[in-house]
A and B are shown apart, each in its own frame.
Chain A
Amino acid sequence: MVSRRNFLIGGAAVPFLSYLELAETAFAATPKDILVVAQQLDNMTSLDPHEGFEAVGGEMMSNMYQKLVRANSDNPNEVDPVIAASWAADAENKVFTFKLADATFASGAPVTADDAAFSLQRAIRMNKSPAFIINQFGFTAENVESRIVATDAKTLTLTTETPTAISFLLFCLSANVAAIVEKKTVLANEADGDLGNAWLQKNSAGSGSFKLQAWKASESITLMLNEHGPYKGNLKRVVIRHVVDPSSQMLMLQKGDVDVARDLTSEQLKALQSDENVVLVRKQIASLMLISLNQNNANLAKPQVWEAVKWALDYDGMQKNIVPLTHAVHQSMEPAGFPGTVTDTPFKKDVAKAKALMVEAGLADGFDITMDHYSAQPYPDLAQAIQANLGEIGIRVKLQSAENRQVLTKMRARGHEMALSAWGTDYFDPNSNAEVFCINKDNSDDAKKKPFAWRSSFKSDDFTAKAEAARDEKDPAKRLELYEALQREFMQNSPFAVMFQNTKTAACRKNVSGFQLGVLSEGNSYLETNKA
């Protein structure tokens, strides 16, 4: 006879035992032809390469589309041919001719010069966020038909407004905004004259390694092998799962439920360094952490104060103690890994020198100031260290923490005094950062252009002229020399204290090889990735 108590206990055990049975059968290892990636997919708004301008989306698009050229990951002064087999400039450096290599879209159709011309024209006509990267060569919706021309099936010519350094043009053409889409497919999905924009936001029409199978916002992105594309490895699919919590990413990686974890914290990476099942792929990316001193503030407008701040900071101490695996000390406005970047770090903590500069500025007693900073780590810890460093020279910093978009919104309204923030470079050319840090021609509140320098009310005609001269220099070698000189000068004579460059790390299980991180997110590539 079964007692009531035993019956109840038995009844309670049934779900548990059946769960164990579930567990035994349900959890299989990830298949060898599917790469599973855990990543925060939180700010991706479009997968149309002529519109999307965020880091995560940029990475997805660069694996689905090809461009005429791509940045060389080993030698930043060069570009590698992709769809363009060769290129040449005319004597005036205004007409550039590209001969196209053989490539095939995911649909099976060949990539033609007509597709390439249509793609560049489309980017200009749509005029979305990244269009400025190529319309700075004088292309407009009105002139693209005549200035971007397919002269035959394999030849494309671009005519720029003014003589242009071919290196500058090529670097800009390596950006996703110059990705080549299949004209026929895109136009077949056009709605209300949008050049297929609404469709391409959630579909793909490229010739890259993979094509888009599905994008479920806040859930996952699935890329499927483009059988006609350049990928030659053993992957059939790449599934990127939106896993917000780094701890969850770490556990999933260690259990083998994901093959790559992309957003681990410094502490977690430290723990994984000794894990023989995990390989860490690291790359310095084009994201700088810096302090901006708003020139609207009389104290911060003094050049001696700019210098004093730079000499007061303990760069090495902060790097070693707060951001050892995620940031490296870097003081130039151009990120390492870019053409012509200066990697000197002339500023070291020197309190005596900084104090002397404060005296020279007439501020021996220091002053009070507020510094805005992002609320996400490591910014609060760094802000406290900066507060302590500046306190030593009499600058009494009050910290104001906020979500990063709040800080950016405040900076865009010139509402900050000091701000600790980050700047991500837009495209692979020194002009990208030089333009925003140095070229500010109209410093009025209602200026038409509001570059990063404008946000801190910094206007230097000298820097503007030098940055423009470097941009327009036609000799590639001399161009880089001009940028190097500009960086050194900017380091010394600007109200921006560049402190660190971000390092990204992808933690891969040891059976995964060939995953590449780029200095820009569009360099993050599965092209050579394999899974054993």
Chain B
Amino acid sequence: MNKRFKSLAATLSSVLLTLLGLTILTFLIGRVMPVDPVIAAVGDNAPEDVIMRARAEMGLDQPLPVQFLHYLGQLLHGDLGVSVLTKNPVAQDIARFFPATFELATAALILAVVIGVPLGVWAAVRQGSVTDQAIRVVCLAGHSVPVFMLSLISLLVFYSALDIAPGPGRQDIIYDGMIDSVTGILTIDTLISGDFGAFRDALAHMAQPVIILAYFSMAYIARMTRAFMIDALKGEYIITARAKGLSLTTVIWGHAFPTVAVQLVTVLALTYAGLLEGAVVTETVFSWPGLGQYLTLSLMNADMNPVVGSTLLIGVIYVGLNLFADILYQMLDPRVRS
């Protein structure tokens, strides 16, 4: 018990230290970047007295350590500050933007896993065959073609030429303002509202960005699965299982895959974290109002509270998913448990 408590305490303190480091780093970057946040707030043409007043109101006339301590104090009270751009508390903005990214990332990850893992296994089992080569080419393309290009081509083909997909945005204009935001996840909110037309519209709008993000992630997941599986298939326990006369399917999914699954946990956690971080380019091309777009817009306008707040959230996501992966690792791998 004591050992477990110590381990938990060590993990927690490491998490806290990581977050503190992230806060200091982001805060400093925000303050030393060669853009005056006051100008971003009041405009380049604002008179000098207005600029001075705004600088004082934003606390930027204080020494840097005082500014940081003040920010840290706010943070400990759960206050991420107010966005200059939206005039909303940053926490409120994040609560609005993050669900859009969460919806996109989660759907993309599910699709990527459902396709990528079997594809990787298939390629490994048929290593060196035409199938393997074909899968490798598809994966290589997915990982090397820039996402913005895929997004634009997708819009051009499926939206513009074939007319089978909706355009950029999260929903059609006819549903604008008609769905109450309960969870912020539009597919769920439309279901809650009972408007199935809006639900179908939301699904249709998700399709393209989800497929593109899924393709990008799938390529990585399939490649890693293939590599792990090739290694696993070389194991003596696999040869033994085959010698015992077990079917190939049983050997692959019953014996080899559990080993691969352990390694895949980390890959999937990091892929999900990457997606949640905000697929900036995809969100930009598809006008998807998610965390990536919020972060970019804030950064471009030197609106630093949202930048620090969003970065912290991303940090928490990374740390959280890493922790989750560690826990899952322990559950799946008896060697780690022991």
A residues touching B (Cβ–Cβ < 8 Å)?
19-20, 22-23, 25-28, 30-31, 34, 36, 42-46, 53-54, 127-129, 131-132, 198, 201-202, 213-214, 216-220, 222, 239, 241-245, 247-248, 251-252, 254-255, 257, 402-403, 405-406, 408-410, 412, 424, 426, 436, 448-450
Given the complex, which residues of A lie within 8 Å of B47, measured CB to CB? Answer: 129, 132, 449
Q: Is the CB of B301 within 8 A of A43?
A: yes
Once A218-B97, A257-B167 are accepted as A-B contacts, the answer to whether A128 and B50 lie under 8 Å apart by CB is yes
B81 CB to nearest chain A CB (Å): 15
Given the complex, which residues of A lie within 8 Å of B168, measured CB to CB? Answer: 243, 245, 248, 251-252
Q: Is the CB of A213 within 8 A of B177?
A: yes
Given the complex, which residues of B lie within 8 Å of A19, measured CB to CB? Answer: 164, 204, 207
Q: Is the CB of B155 within 8 A of A42?
A: no
Once A244-B293, A252-B167 are accepted as A-B contacts, the answer to whether A26 and B86 lie under 8 Å apart by CB is no
13 A-B pairs within 8 Å (CB atoms) are namely A20-B164, A25-B200, A26-B201, A42-B300, A53-B42, A53-B45, A242-B289, A245-B287, A251-B168, A403-B35, A405-B36, A405-B39, A412-B44
Q: Is the CB of A43 within 8 A of B174?
A: no
Contact of B45 among A23, A213, A220, A426 (CB under 8 A): A426
Given the complex, which residues of B lie within 8 Å of A53, measured CB to CB? Answer: 42-43, 45-46
Q: Is the CB of A217 within 8 A of B88?
A: yes
Q: Which parts of B131-176 form the interface with A (CB within 8 Å)?
A: 152, 155-156, 159-160, 163-169, 172-174, 176
Asked if B284 CB lies within 8 Å of chain A CBs, one says yes
B122 CB to nearest chain A CB (Å): 12
Asked if B85 CB lies within 8 Å of chain A CBs, one says yes
Q: Is the CB of A251 within 8 A of B159?
A: yes
Once A19-B207, A42-B300, A217-B88 are accepted as A-B contacts, the answer to whether A27 and B35 lie under 8 Å apart by CB is no
Given the complex, which residues of A lie within 8 Å of B49, measured CB to CB? Answer: 127, 448
Q: Is the CB of A45 within 8 A of B87?
A: yes
Q: Is the CB of B85 within 8 A of A43?
A: yes
Asked if B189 CB lies within 8 Å of chain A CBs, one says no
Given the complex, which residues of B lie within 8 Å of A408, measured CB to CB? Answer: 36, 39, 44
Given the complex, which residues of A lie within 8 Å of B43, measured CB to CB? Answer: 53-54, 129
CB-nearest residue of chain A relative to B42?
A: A129
Q: Is the CB of B173 within 8 A of A255?
A: no
Q: Is the CB of B204 within 8 A of A248?
A: no
Q: Is the CB of B177 within 8 A of A222?
A: yes
Q: Which parts of B1-58 form the interface with A (CB within 8 Å)?
A: 34-36, 39-50, 53
Asked if B297 CB lies within 8 Å of chain A CBs, one says yes
Given the complex, which residues of A lie within 8 Å of B102, measured CB to CB? Answer: none
Q: Is the CB of B169 within 8 A of A241?
A: yes
Besides A255-B163, A406-B35, 6 other CB < 8 A contacts?
Answer: A20-B164, A36-B173, A42-B301, A131-B50, A220-B176, A252-B167
Q: Is the CB of A31 within 8 A of B36?
A: no
Q: Is the CB of A251 within 8 A of B172?
A: no
Q: Is the CB of B285 within 8 A of A23?
A: no
Q: Is the CB of B174 within 8 A of A28?
A: yes
How far does the alpha carbon of A257 sit from the alpha carbon of B86 in the complex, in Å?
A: 26
Asked if B302 CB lies within 8 Å of chain A CBs, one says yes
Given the complex, which residues of A lie within 8 Å of B284, measured CB to CB? Answer: 244-245
Contact of B167 among A214, A239, A251, A410 (CB under 8 A): A251
B232 CB to nearest chain A CB (Å): 24
How far does the alpha carbon of A508 sit from the alpha carbon of B173 in the complex, in Å?
A: 17
Q: Mark B76-109, 1 if CB is under 8 A from A, else 0.
A: 0000000111111000010011000000000000
